[in-house]
Amino acid sequence: MTDFVKAAETSDIPAGRVKVVEVDGKRIALCNVDGEFYAIDDLCTHDDGPLDQGELTGDVIECPRHGARFNVRTGKVLALPAVKPLGTYALKVEGTQIRVALP
């Protein structure tokens, strides 16, 4: 059975925004895509830059350093220079709580 831990409240992350939380010692970026929440690694796979500092447009986040883009739903790389997908995490919303599976 997967353990889910509280990471944030839904009100903490407006639509189109990203919030970084620490879950079990790992930085995870929580992304709000039109009221649907997704959890991804906060570090770009190209150079370990912080993705929460980048722009979230729809379900695509762009790294502010070199412009690599990723789909936050799947972690898939959409634009170079990154070639390796992001780690994604199971997430569920219970009431107003966003809960993330332990990595």
Residue 2, pLDDT > 90, answer: no
Predicted confidence at residue 94, as pLDDT, reads 97
When pLDDT is averaged across residues 50-71 and rounded to a whole number, the result is 96
pLDDT at position 55 is: 96
Please state the rounded mean pLDDT for residues 20-43: 96
Average pLDDT for residues 1-12, to the nearest whole number? Answer: 92
Burial (Cβ within 10 Å: 0-12, 13-18, ≥19) of residue 27? middle
Sequence letter at residue 54: G
* Spans of all domains in the chain: 4-101
4-101 CATH, one of 2.102.10.10, 2.60.420.10, 1.10.10.10, 1.10.10.350: 2.102.10.10
| pLDDT score, position 24 | 87
Note the Cα 17 to chain centre separation in Å: 10
Report, as an integer, the average pLDDT of 20-47: 96
Residue 102 pLDDT = 79
pTM value is: 0.95
Using alpha carbons, list the distances in angstroms from residue 89 to 7, 66, 78. 12, 24, 19
